[in-house]
Structure 1
Amino acid sequence: MDSLYVVMPAYNEEANIESVVTSWYKLLEGKSKESRLVVADSGSTDRTHEILQKLQEKYPQLEILEDSLKQHGPKLLALYGYAIKKGADYIFQTDSDGQTNPKEFDFFWDNREAYDAVIGNRTAREDGKDRAFVEDVVCLLLSMYFGVKVPDANAPFRLMKSSLVAKYIDRFDEDYNIPNIMFTTFFAFYGEKTLFKEISFKPRQGGENSIDLVKITKIGIKACSDFRKFKRQMKKSK
């Protein structure tokens, strides 16, 4: 049986973490006994960590990754690296804010052998027009810089073969802010077999978003510089 690592970063998610873990943990049923749900929680100043530790008493396949950096992107890289190290066959990433629906996972799992990666496409977003606009800008920039066309570069709902993630993860510094965007770009640029599947995307279910538009703008400015660097590297390797 294939092993699945469901991974999610968390930061001050005490309002959501119990319901999110409970709903996503069910996906491990029917998978290899080596499958895990792993939450990266470092830096939280609320009860997120305490709640996670309590949940471990109920969910034996729940693991907490405590030694990652604080920011979302570095946590993703730490989670991916951890799943690869542990020998996962497949990695599924989502977030811990309750915006994604576990019921939409089955299609992704059923198509795992046909594609190297199945990535969500948030065609209808309920988290605000400003964030949808940011995603549109990101996709436009990827087209301009790398010549790739993707409908959703940063969706936190993606099933990937662990071997595919391992193929590209060493291209990132451990503190890189937007790895999912670049993973999507690599998959498109190098012709990896990728499917984009429409998913729903709810408003944040509780708590406050740690990344506001000001931070997004700063990340975007830095991203343009990073894109130029990646573009030079990718031209040499293609």
Structure 2
Amino acid sequence: MEKLYVIIPAYNEGMNIEQCIDDWYPIVERHNGNGESRLVIINDGSKDNTYEIMQKLAKDKPLFTPLTKANGGHGDTVLYGYRYAIRHDADYIFQTDSDGQTDPAEFEEFWKARDQYDAVIGNRIERGDGKDRKFVENIVCLLLRMIFGVKIEDANAPFRLMKASLVEKYINKLPEDFNIPNIMFTTYFVYHHEKVKFIPITFKPRQGGVNSINIKKIVKIGWKAVGDFHKLRREINDV
């Protein structure tokens, strides 16, 4: 039986975290290979009661593993979760976010495609988080095409099912605290002609709480990313 690890970072999600667990725990129950599949939510040093709620709810949910760590940002926390899944011998890693913008009902289409593809990644054709975010994504994809020569419509969608062995193949190419790992994983997969499928997904407005990443932070991260992209481009064939 295949072991699925659903990896979700969380920061100051006290308003959303219970609904997030209610949404995604049934997915893990449904695909519980040998009793070892897990919903893993990583608290990224929240200043609210996110982790306390997680601990309370975990008492009645044996397939839910709440983790906590010092604040390091979304990318750092995603990588922390991926490494945790790899250490625990996951067969598949699915990553999404805790803000209620993705739809668990769309997971099954991704799961059905796992035998034909090594990674199945969401494509947010319409985005409920605003035109600014869509504009930023378009700029990112333009940069990836210019620097890496890859054509990708949505590089950073937080709705992706990947074979753990594929994640392990590329994860050590990135710094441990890399801000935008999913963008580079998508880039690596496409550049190296891994078996990847992009499936359209819905992407709703944030369902509560405050987004910790504003446009000012996005611009700062993006500016640093340009330098990172050029460095990683020089090393991209060292697999």
Contact 1:153 1:181 in 2 (8 A): yes
**2: CA distance between counterparts of 1:123 and 1:10?**
24
**1: CA distance between counterparts of 2:176 and 2:202?**
30
State the 1:67 CA deviation.
3.0
Pick from 156, 159, 163 the counterpart of residue 157 of structure 1: 159
Structure 2 equivalent of residue 16 of structure 1 = 16
SS of corresponding position for 1:201 = coil
State the 1:65 CA deviation.
2.0
State the 1:209 CA deviation.
0.3
Counting only pairs closer than 5 Å after superposition, residues 79-158 of structure 1 correspond to structure 2 as: 79-158=81-160
The superposition leaves residues 59-113 of structure 1 with CA deviations (integer Å, 9 ceiling, x where unpaired) of 1111122236431000000000000000000000000000000000000001111
**1: CA distance between counterparts of 2:70 and 2:41?**
10
**2: CA distance between counterparts of 1:8 and 1:52?**
12
State the 1:206 CA deviation.
0.2
Contact 1:65 1:79 in 2 (8 A): no
Counting only pairs closer than 5 Å after superposition, residues 146-225 of structure 1 correspond to structure 2 as: 146-225=148-227
Structure 2 equivalent of residue 76 of structure 1 = 78
State the identity as a percent.
58
Contact 2:40 2:66 in 1 (8 A): yes
Contact 1:68 1:78 in 2 (8 A): no
SS of corresponding position for 1:132 = helix
**2: CA distance between counterparts of 1:68 and 1:162?**
25
Q: List gaps (5 residues or longer) in structure 1.
A: none
Contact 1:42 1:68 in 2 (8 A): yes
- Aligned structure 1 segments of 4 or more residues deviating by more than 4 angstroms: none
**1: CA distance between counterparts of 2:15 and 2:185?**
30
State the 1:43 CA deviation.
1.1
SS of corresponding position for 1:148 = coil
Contact 1:68 1:75 in 2 (8 A): no
Which has the larger displacement, 55-64 or 8-17? 55-64
Structure 1 equivalent of residue 64 of structure 2 = 62
State the 1:42 CA deviation.
2.8
User: Structure 1 residues 75 and 68, CA, compared in 2 at 3 Å: closer, same or farther?
Assistant: farther
Structure 1 equivalent of residue 238 of structure 2 = 237
**2: CA distance between counterparts of 1:218 and 1:114?**
38
Q: List gaps (5 residues or longer) in structure 2.
A: none
Contact 2:120 2:162 in 1 (8 A): yes
**Aligned residue-pair number:** 237
What RMSD, in angstroms, separates the aligned Cα atoms of the two structures? 1.0
The superposition leaves residues 137-193 of structure 1 with CA deviations (integer Å, 9 ceiling, x where unpaired) of 100100000000011000000000000000000011111100000000000100000
SS of corresponding position for 1:44 = coil
The superposition leaves residues 34-75 of structure 1 with CA deviations (integer Å, 9 ceiling, x where unpaired) of 000001103101110111001101211111222364310000
User: Structure 1 residues 4 and 68, CA, compared in 2 at 3 Å: closer, same or farther?
Assistant: farther
SS of corresponding position for 2:30 = coil
Question: Aligned AA for 1:8?
Answer: I
